[in-house]
Amino acid sequence: MTAQDEAAGAAVTTDDEARRRHRLVLMILPALLMGMFLSALDQTVVATSMRTIADDLHGLALQAWVATAYLITSTVSTPLYGKLSDLYGRKPLYLAAILLFLVGSAACTFAQSMYQLAALRALQGLGAGGLMTLAFAITADLIPPRERARYQSWFLLVWISSSLLGPVLGGILVGSGDIVGITGWRWVFLVNLPIGVVALALVVKLLRLPRPGRDGVARIDYGGALAMVVATVPLLLIAEQGQQWGWASPAALACYLVAALGLAAFVYFGRRLGEQALIPLRLFGVQTFRVSVIVSMAVGAGMFGAMSAAPLFAQLAKGVSPTGSGLLMLPMMLGMVVSTALSGKVIARSGRYKMLPVIGCACTAVGMFGFAVVTLDTPLWVPAVLLFVLGIGLGNCTQTLTVAAQNAVPLQDIGTATAAVMFFRQIAGTLGVGAALSALFGALPGAVTDALPQAAGRPDFVIATHDTAVVNNPDNAAFFQFLRGSRAMLSDSSFLDRLDPRLAWPFEQGFSSATGLVFLVGGVLMLLTTLYAMTMRELPLREVSPAQLAESE
C-alpha cells in the first residue's frame, strides 16, 4: 500500500463535504453522460444507416471495413487514453477525445467514397476511444469507490437508451431524403456536433481535477503502444472478417501469427520499462485487479455473444421481424439496469462487493443454460425471461468489476486500470461475437441435416416436397440444392424469406439447435468464470476519492 493509500484510509469525510462533493458530481455528470451518449449512439445509428450509405457511395462490398476501421482505432486508443490521463491529467485528454470525435464526425459528412468514409471513421474512433474510458476515470477521481457504482449506473442507463434510440434515429434520418439540402444519411454524423459542443463547453467550465502527482519526467511507452496495436489489430480483423475469410484461411493464420508476435513484444516492453510501461505489468500482480480483468473479459464475451446470437434465433428460428428481435433484447437491457442500480446501492451501504460478480456470473450461466434448451416450439416469452435473468447477471458484474479494479491499484494508476479493464473487455467482446457466430454457422449445416429425418414425419413437409409447383418454384431452389449437398445458401439466410413455409421447418429447427449449442458453450464458460470469481480478494474500499485526498493535502 502506498503512502497515498494510507492517507486515503485515514481521511474522514464529513456530511457537509459529502454533500458538496455530490453537488460537484451532479454538475459535471451531464458532460460525462453526453460523451458516453455520443460514443454509444454513434455505433448503432451508423450500423442502421450503413446499407443506405454504402448504396449512395457505391461501395456495398466495402461496408464492413467502415465498421472495422472505427472498431480498431476506438479499441487500441483506449489504453493510451488511460495511461496518458494518469501522466498529464484527465481534463486535457477528455477535451482532446471530444474534439477528435467532433472533427471526425464533421469530416464524415463530406465523404465521397467508402474508402474516404473508412479513413474518417478511423479518425472518429480515435476520439471515441477516450469518451467512455475517461468518463469512468473522471468519476473515479471525484467519487470514493464505495459510492462510485451508484453514479456509474447512470452510464449504463445512457448506454442502453442510446443503443435503443440509435436504430430508430438512423432509420428516420436515412429515410428522410434531403434535410435542408443535405443528404439524410450525412445527418447521421452531423447530429453529433451540437451534443458534443455542449459537452465540450461543460467540461471546460465545470471540471476541476487535481493535477497528476507524478514525480520526474514522464516517459511515454511508444514501443509498448506500437506492440499493442500490432497485437490488437489482427485480432479485431479476424473477429470481423473471419466468417468471410475462413478461420483457418492463410489470411486468418497470418493474423494469429502477427497478434502473437505483437503480444510477445508488448510483454517485452512492459518488462523493460517497468513503471513507465503502457500498462505496467505489476498491475497484473495485484490479485484483485487480475481477477477483475479476466472476469470482465469472460463477461464481455458472454454479453456480446448473447447479443448477437439471440436476435438471430428470433429472426431465423421463430420468424420474428428485425424490429421484433430488437424488442426481444429489451428484457436483457432492463435486467442490466435494475441489477446495476441495486448493486450500486449494496456497495454503498455495505462496502462489500465480492459476491456481486459471483452472483452475476452464476445468473448469467443460468440464463445461458436455460436458453440452450429452448426449442422451436418454446413460447417466445421464455427466451425473454431468460434474457432478463442474463441481464441481471451482467449488470451485477460490469460496474462492480470496474470499481474493484480501480480500488485495487494505487491512486496514480486509476486511469490505466480503468482503461485496461475496458480494453480487455472490448477485445473479448469482439472475439466473443466472432466465436458465437462461427460456432452458430459452423454447427448449422449438421443441425439442418439432422432435422431432415424429423421433417419427414411432418405431413405438410412431405406434401410440399412432392408438389410439382413447389419443386419448380425458383424461390424454393435453395432447399432442393441443400438436399443435393450444396451448403452455399446457409451463408445468406435471405432465402428463408422466399422459401415455402412448409419447407422452412428443417432450417428453422437447425437454427434453433445451433443457437442452443452457442448458449451451451457460453453457459459452461460462465460457470467456470463463476468459480474463478470466487477467488477474488475483497480489499476494503477507500473512503475518499483522489480529488478529496488532494484537497486535504
**Number of domain units in the chain:** 3
Least-confidence region, from 59-73, 344-358, 399-413, 528-542: 59-73
Extract the C-alpha cell encoding 259: 497478434
Looking at the structure, tell me whether residues 203 and 226 fall in a common domain: no
Phi/psi for 90 (5° steps) reads: -75, -40
- Looking at the domain assignment, is residue 189 inside a domain? yes
* 205 and 241 part of one domain: no
Residue 8: its pLDDT value, please? 45
What pTM, to 2 d.p., does this model score? 0.83
Q: How confident is the model at residue 534 (pLDDT cuts 50, 70, 90)?
A: very high
Together in a domain, 161 and 99: yes
pLDDT-derived band at 258, boundaries 50, 70, 90: very high
Q: Are residues 54 and 137 in the same domain?
A: yes
Cα 136 to Cα 415: distance, rounded to the nearest angstrom = 8
Once rounded to an integer, what is the mean pLDDT over residues 295-301? 92
The verdict on residue 545 lying in a domain is no
Q: Looking at the structure, tell me whether residues 95 and 200 fall in a common domain.
A: yes
Please provide the average confidence, as pLDDT, over all residues in the chain.
83
Q: How far apart are CA 553 and CA 551, in angstroms?
A: 5
Same domain, 138 and 261: no
Q: Is residue 304 part of a domain?
A: no
Same-domain pairing of 121 and 231: no
pLDDT over 80 at 323, yes or no: no
Domain boundary, last residue among 158, 179, 213: 213
Instruction: State the pLDDT confidence band at 274, using cuts at 50, 70 and 90.
Output: confident
Tell me: the pLDDT tens digits for 86-137? 888 889 999 999 999 999 999 999 988 888 998 999 999 999 989 888 988 8
228 assigned to some structural domain: yes
Q: Which domain holds residue 122?
A: 17-213
Please give the backbone phi and psi of residue 179, each rounded to the nearest 5 degrees, phi first.
Answer: -120, 115
Q: What CATH number is associated with residue 126?
A: 1.20.1250.20
Does any domain span residue 135?
yes
Same domain, 46 and 85: yes
pLDDT score of 9: 45
On whether both 261 and 173 belong to a single domain, the answer is no
Same domain, 22 and 161: yes
**Do 52 and 77 sit in the same domain of this protein?**
yes
DSSP letters, 354-408, are: THHHHHHHHHHHHHHHHHHT--TTS-THHHHHHHHHHHHHHHHHHHHHHHHHHHH
**473 belongs to a structural domain:** yes
pLDDT of residue 493 exceeding 80: no
Q: Quick one: 157 and 273 in the same domain?
A: no
Give me the percent of the chain exceeding a pLDDT of 70: 90
Residue 113 in domain: yes
What is residue 102's predicted lDDT score, i.e. its pLDDT?
Answer: 94
Residue 65, domain member (yes or no) = yes
